[in-house]
Structure 1
Amino acid sequence: MTSPSNAPSAALEASGSLARAGDLFQLLRDGKPWTRAELAMTTGLARSTVAGKVDLLLTSGLVVSVGEALSSGGRPPSRFAFHAQARAVLAADVGASHVRVALTDLNGEVLSERRAEKPVAEGPEAVLGYVVESGKKLLAESGRPENRLAGVGIGLPGPVEHATGRPVKPPIMPGWDGFDVVGFVQRTLPVPVLVDNDVNIMALGERAAYWPEVDDLLFIKVATGIGSGIISSGQLQRGADGTAGDLGHVRVARGSDVVCRCGNVGCLEALASGGAVALFLAGQGVEAQAGADVVDLAANGNLAAIQALRQAGRDIGEVLATCVNLLNPSVIVLGGSMAAAGDHIMAGVREVVYHRSPPLATTNLRIVLSRAGERAAVMGASQLVSQHVLSPAGVEAALAATANAG
């Protein structure tokens, strides 16, 4: 709860009743119960003004009554709070070889989900068609009508122009370059559709669920490719063209003779991704075709796989040491399918990062495994939608829709 103030904030004095209601709602997003008197004291607005805006929010369903506060005499005042179940969100994680679709509430809590082995190379119509149909089935199974759907969030395994939701020259997504993802989904589900790179939304999901107090966090995805989601000063950093965090194509010293699929040599991805480690082991006579095989081998005590994963961790750590010096994060989270190898990769990363980075940057640095695991991306895709629809402008739109429906 913010400190009481005798003067209303500039935001709360914005012109138009719906704008004021949208701004007032931001105080309620922490989910804690408030009374009208507490809101009036905090904002400096007249109690009658607050009461009117609260009534609008109650009508929309975004706020619900949660009982009564203790009375100091007379009728006990009502308490009310954000209602995360007022709307549903569809969140989709499109990977190189899989698609996961989840139904969540406005807090990102996963209510139900579906997963299929579906390569992104099948093309946008096939993959997004599965997303839309799975989403409709999840809504039907939950008993929620489609008009209670707040929006759709989608993570894609390649660069995305966030403003339009269109993939931009994605290396492992044939047929997706420039495709109108938003328009395709909205033909069936006419709601806001937000699209971003998968590792960006994994960073959002991990932070929202497990590190809400951390303003500087790096999420590193190690799977078919290697990338990072950068949260700095509490904000996701996408860069000028949406390619911020593409660690997979940073050059690593020991890879001077290793050719990457991008055409350069020595890229981190060509040395430390799941496929790269599997290829290395196969060259040593170990049966491994993909990253999952490497993880299984290590789990069963295969020494060659354990050593290869430790070296992959060192290679990743070499790149991350530069990131630590440049960005000074307080938490680095390792996720993606290869993070299932856990301590083996982690040991290599820590070994190099703590050796290469100055003590001031690492004294309080935590390097940890993802706690969200396979759900990090759908949790982040849900956050992408919630941040949009629960913004002041988004709440205004919901209030206007409720008024028009009435």
Structure 2
Amino acid sequence: MTGNQASAGHLLRLIRTGEATTRGELQEATGLSRSTVGHRLDQLFRAEWLRDRAGISTGGRPSTRLEFDAAHAVVLAAALETRHARLAVFDLAGTVLAERTEPLLLEDGPDKVLVRLAEWFGPLLAEAGTAPGKVCGIGLSVPGPVDWEAGQVVQPPIMPGWDRYPVRRRMREAYAEHVGPVSSDPLPVLLDNDANLMAYAEQRAGFRDCGAFLLVKVSTGIGAGVVVGGEIYRGIDGGAGDIGHIRLPDRTDALCKCGSFGCLAAVASGRALAGQLSALGIPAASGSGVREHLAAGRPEAVRLAREAGRRVGEVLATVVTLLNPGVLMIAGDLAGAPFLTGVRELLYQRAMPRTTANLQVVTSSLGERAGLTGAAAMVVEHLYAPDRADARLAALESVSREPHLSPGPR
């Protein structure tokens, strides 16, 4: 890193990643002088983003190590499913401070859903012992395609009324109305597809050394999240990973929620299996209902889940051949032994041995918290990326120079 690149935000990144955690190490990593490093660290300390801690002594005075202060702000996160929502308050290190799950119907539309989230966020912050103004951002996980730059859901098959709705603006308004003043104006609200965020969280939690990570979520719908080089791969406009709408040529009779026939989701999703079970006289309204039947060992559910796994494995043979991931993780309501067995059967049968020789096929380790964790991590990584951090530091220092203005929470 050259000196002109090593802004305060870049120093923060080196500290957060553990690449350089003392003043000497920062000088060596950046090529900056001692005084310049000190000046930029002063910016970070004034913002209350850093703290000192004693280092390890090697015989002389122990060096002072620098670390990111994960307690100076919090992130709110919500993972929306078709029939419920999970919400949590996180510190900036990803520790859950408070959490709850509430019934919520996505089909009620974005305005009603976002207002309900805001109403729940207030008591959740109180449970965490955190003031509303300490919130530095909100992350939302949604079961549909997302244009990440625009912060909008785009043509979601199972989210009626959400297409191009101004989620960011409405979430900010609802938060201000139902919770309280914000820590920054405007309050950062970020949203992404649930499979993307689950993949991001799982890769960071258990497979950081995996350069190409693939997660497939099979619940009410089917979607995939891809993490390459530690970053979510979204495609040109957020459409990457939408494998639930790959067509199966032998199932042109299956009508999908998107309006097309033969989609994988119309045949092998939790919604599809719920319909198949109901047709057999075994009531199931959604993927969670199928999961309950699988947990009870219902033979019909086990048989259908294994066959669904085979259909998904059939598609994944092509996906795995294209991406050559090191890890394929199966997550969601159907991520149990019958479904996984079916996936493996077809995947290893159809894919070339060279493609699967170094492939791990696993199930989720974070479980139902994966989407929440990924949503919180998305907000933190966005806000404390070097360029964004520098802009925020400049704004904080500008406010602090105005005697009639309070800098407020950081």
TM-score normalised by L of structure 1: 0.90
Question: 1:281 is matched with which residue: 273, 277, 282?
Answer: 277
Report whether the alignment pairs 1:147 with 2:142. Answer: no
Question: 1:384 is matched with which residue: 355, 378, 383?
Answer: 378
Give the 3 Å change call, closer, same or farther, for CA 68–371 of structure 1 in structure 2.
closer
In structure 2, how many angstroms separate the alpha carbons of the residues matched to 1:126 and 1:263?
A: 25
User: Structure 1 residue 59: deviation in Å?
Assistant: 2.3
User: Structure 1 residue 69: deviation in Å?
Assistant: 4.0
User: Structure 1 residue 186: deviation in Å?
Assistant: 2.0
Question: 2:23 is matched with which residue: 36, 48, 52?
Answer: 36
Q: How does 1:5-404 map to 2 (within 5 A)?
A: 9-10=1-2, 12-14=3-5, 20-30=7-17, 34-70=21-57, 73=60, 75-187=61-173, 188=176, 189=182, 190-339=186-335, 342-403=336-397, 404=399
Give the 3 Å change call, closer, same or farther, for CA 287–142 of structure 1 in structure 2.
closer
Contact 1:60 1:399 in 2 (8 A): yes
Give the 3 Å change call, closer, same or farther, for CA 157–50 of structure 1 in structure 2.
same
Paired residue secondary structure (1:199): helix
User: Structure 1 residue 399: deviation in Å?
Assistant: 2.3
In structure 1, how many angstroms separate the alpha carbons of the residues matched to 2:372 and 2:233?
A: 19
Contact 1:215 1:235 in 2 (8 A): no
In structure 1, how many angstroms separate the alpha carbons of the residues matched to 2:149 and 2:29?
A: 35
Q: CA RMSD in A?
A: 2.0
Contact 1:33 1:66 in 2 (8 A): no
User: Structure 1 residue 86: deviation in Å?
Assistant: 2.0
> In the TM superposition, what whole-angstrom CA distance separates every residue of 1:100-153 from its partner, at most 9, and x where no partner exists?
111111222222112111001111111111222222332233232333222111
In structure 1, how many angstroms separate the alpha carbons of the residues matched to 2:284 and 2:169?
A: 40
In structure 1, how many angstroms separate the alpha carbons of the residues matched to 2:351 and 2:157?
A: 32
Give the 3 Å change call, closer, same or farther, for CA 32–393 of structure 1 in structure 2.
closer
Contact 1:32 1:81 in 2 (8 A): no
Contact 2:219 2:288 in 1 (8 A): no
User: Structure 1 residue 253: deviation in Å?
Assistant: 4.3
**Counterpart of 1:172 in structure 2: which amino acid?**
I
Q: In structure 1, list runs of 5 or more residues that go unmatched.
A: 1-8
Paired residue secondary structure (2:144): coil
In structure 2, how many angstroms separate the alpha carbons of the residues matched to 1:45 and 1:303?
A: 67
User: Structure 1 residue 177: deviation in Å?
Assistant: 1.8
Paired residue secondary structure (1:153): strand
Question: 2:400 is matched with which residue: 386, 397, 405?
Answer: 405
Count of residue correspondences: 390
Q: In structure 2, list runs of 5 or more residues that go unmatched.
A: 177-181, 402-410
Paired residue secondary structure (1:89): strand
In structure 2, how many angstroms separate the alpha carbons of the residues matched to 1:260 and 1:175?
A: 18
In structure 1, how many angstroms separate the alpha carbons of the residues matched to 2:294 and 2:250?
A: 23
Contact 2:153 2:164 in 1 (8 A): yes
Paired residue secondary structure (1:337): coil
User: Structure 1 residue 393: deviation in Å?
Assistant: 2.1
In structure 1, the partner of 2:404 is none
Paired residue secondary structure (1:265): coil
User: Structure 1 residue 52: deviation in Å?
Assistant: 1.9
Give the 3 Å change call, closer, same or farther, for CA 33–70 of structure 1 in structure 2.
farther
**Counterpart of 1:13 in structure 2: which amino acid?**
N
User: Structure 1 residue 401: deviation in Å?
Assistant: 4.2
In structure 1, how many angstroms separate the alpha carbons of the residues matched to 2:238 and 2:28?
A: 42
The farther-off stretch of 32-41 and 81-90 is: 32-41
**Counterpart of 1:259 in structure 2: which amino acid?**
L
User: Structure 1 residue 299: deviation in Å?
Assistant: 2.4
User: Structure 1 residue 324: deviation in Å?
Assistant: 0.6
Contact 1:33 1:81 in 2 (8 A): no
